[in-house]
Amino acid sequence: PPPRVKPFKGKSVHGDVELRVEQAQFSELSLAASTHGALSVSIDPARGGARRVRPDFVLVREAPEGGAGGAPRRLLAGLHLGGVPSSDPL
């Protein structure tokens, strides 16, 4: 696993819910969200292995700058609209 994922490997919350960490860049994400809380997030890395996830929390480690038409900011807004809590240490 990537270096930032290793500290979470095999860990759990309240002893029964195993943590699953996904790492992706804004350019690898797409999502659909609604005001009713419905959210679908897809990760499609260039190296293959596309997958859908339902994040419980998002840690942003990449500045949401640039991208075509401000795409990173729109992705963050969609996650917020979908009710996903997040943290931005930047």
Q: Are 21 and 13 a contacting pair, CB within 8 Å?
A: no
Backbone angles phi, psi at 26, to 5 degrees: -55, -35
Q: What's the whole-number average pLDDT of the chain?
A: 82
**The pLDDT value given to residue 77:** 86
| Domain carrying residue 61 | 6-82
80: number of Cβ within 10 Å: 13
**Residue spans of alpha helices (H) in the chain:** 71-81
Report yes or no on 18 lying in a domain: yes
Report yes or no on 1 lying in a domain: no
Give the alpha-carbon dihedral of 41, 20, 16, 79, to 10 degrees. Answer: -30
Report yes or no on 66 lying in a domain: yes
Report yes or no on 55 lying in a domain: yes
- The residue-averaged pLDDT of 69-90 equals 81
**Number of folded domains in the chain?**
1
Report yes or no on 12 lying in a domain: yes
d(CA 30, CA 3): 24
**The pLDDT value given to residue 24:** 87
Report yes or no on 62 lying in a domain: yes
Q: Using one digit for the tens of pLDDT, what is the confidence trace for 54-70?
A: 888 888 877 777 666 67
Instruction: Judge if pTM exceeds 0.75.
Output: no
d(CA 66, CA 14): 38
Indicate which CATH number applies to the domain containing 21. 3.40.50.20
